[in-house]
Amino acid sequence: RRWTQARFAELIGLSQNRLSEIERGNGSFTAEQLIIVLRTFNLQLDYFMPGRSGQLPKIQNALARLGAKHLKEDSEAVPTERLKEAADAIAEALVAARSPRQITAIAPVIVNQIDNLNLNMLRLKLAEAGFERRLGWVLENTLEAACGELPALRGEWRPKYRRTELVLRNLLASWRPAAQGKPAEDILDRDILSVETLDQVKGALPALARKWGIVTRIAPRDFAEALRGARGND
């Protein structure tokens, strides 16, 4: 529903200023307000639980085991056989899109699994589900972040990153966002709850997000941070 921020604030009995603070992460809804939101928008409680609901811990564990070593594994969640494959873990993370940290963790998975990934098949799979642009956006962010990291790399990491650069450049050279028509914007960030916030985020979109039609605050620097975190002290 395209609610205005003022209308949403009135629904839950908050001022617009306070609602803006909550949207930025500086506060939270009361239990009563959360119930109102769930009922009004026909949502399940796990919509607001990016780290602990259903499949999400399994996705995080799969990403961690496939190369995103900076992610903390949940000992209670064991990846299914399907999620042990890098392509499936990437697809699940992109479709769920509940956690920016999991999305940026795709970058080190790509670097570590670059020769085990059939990215063309992954593209077809996500295109069928309507999320092809998310993959293109992630791949180009990963490419830009990896290229930025390359000059300082030595040892085993350097050939991995150079291989990633080669494969992604080759793939993206013939894959650009569709120029025909104007596809609907893909609103990725789950904390965008009002038209005002949507407009604010759209007004400051990172260049690659604008290019691929993805409404998000996530930028190449966030993917670069994930790459550095996964390398640790190596």
Residue 1: burial class (beta carbons within 10 Å; 0-12, 13-18, 19+): exposed
**CA–CA distance, 65 with 59 (Å, rounded to integer):** 10
pLDDT of residue 33: 81
Domains of the chain by residue range: 1-43, 50-231
Question: What pairs with residue 215 in β-bridges?
Answer: 187
HEC secondary structure over 138-183 = HHHHHHHHHHHHHHHCCCCHHHHHHHHHHHHHHHHHCCCCCCCCCC
User: C-alpha dihedral over 140, 142, 144, 146, to 10 degrees?
Assistant: -150
Share of the chain above pLDDT 90, in %: 42
Q: Which of 40-54, 82-96, 199-213 has the lowest average pLDDT?
A: 40-54
Answer whether residue 73 shows pLDDT above 80.
Answer: no
Contacts of 216 by beta carbon, 8 Å cutoff, 6+ apart = 100, 188, 189, 201, 205, 206, 209
Q: Residue 108: which pLDDT band, with cuts at 50, 70 and 90?
A: very high
**CA–CA distance, 197 with 227 (Å, rounded to integer):** 29
pLDDT of residue 188: 94
Q: Residue 88: which pLDDT band, with cuts at 50, 70 and 90?
A: confident
Q: What is the pTM of this model?
A: 0.67
**CA–CA distance, 56 with 49 (Å, rounded to integer):** 9
Task: Give the position of tokens 């030595």.
Answer: 154
Query: What values do phi and psi take at 186, rounded to 5?
Result: -95, 105
For residues 156 and 41, the model is more confident at 156
Give the side-chain half-sphere CA count within 13 A for 143. 16
Mean model confidence pLDDT for the chain: 82
pLDDT of residue 216: 96
Instruction: Tell me the three state secondary structure of residue 45.
Output: helix
Q: Residue 55: which pLDDT band, with cuts at 50, 70 and 90?
A: low
Answer whether residue 202 shows pLDDT above 90.
Answer: yes
